[in-house]
Amino acid sequence: MSNRIIATNEVAPPLGPYSLAIASVGSGTWLHIAGQVGVDPSGQLMDGFEAQARQTWANLVAVLSGAGMRVEHLVKVSTFLTRQSDLPQLGPVRAEFIGESRPASTVVVVQALARPEWLVEIEGIAFLPASA
């Protein structure tokens, strides 16, 4: 199995550090990661957007690790923000965790998440090749 970045001149290039699409070919394991929020393992909600975003990414990476995967296995990430003004802070935090990986990505600003104190939620889809 291999992940192949899909690019075409028929569509504008990505507006940030992500791929338009990732094709995964071969046998392996798909992992669908439920939305993660800025709550640490003890149940404590982090204070402020940047801290919540950092904890959210840490949680997502921990789930990947629990499945024997790394951020390089992510093929799709969806991020939900409750305030557009937090968007500039999102990129640097994401870069800390995702490095050079470029999964297909979507960022959506929503009116609210399931709890009003949550400022960011991130879900992902990953693929681990059978031969990995």
pLDDT tens for 67-103 read 989 999 999 999 999 999 999 999 999 999 999 999 9
Would you say residue 71 lies in a domain? yes
Distances (CA, A) of 75 to 6, 25, 55: 11, 12, 20
Torsion of Cα atoms, 93 then 90 then 74 then 16, to 10°:
-110
Q: What is the pLDDT, as a whole number, of residue 19? A: 77
Domain that holds residue 82: 15-129
Look at residue 119 and tell me if it is in a domain: yes
What is the CATH number for 27?
A: 3.30.1330.40
Under-50 pLDDT residues of the chain: none
Cβ atoms of 51 and 38 within 8 Å: the answer is yes
SS3 (DSSP) at 81: strand
The count of structural domains within the chain is 1
Task: Judge whether 79 lies within some domain.
Answer: yes
What pLDDT was estimated at residue 20?
64
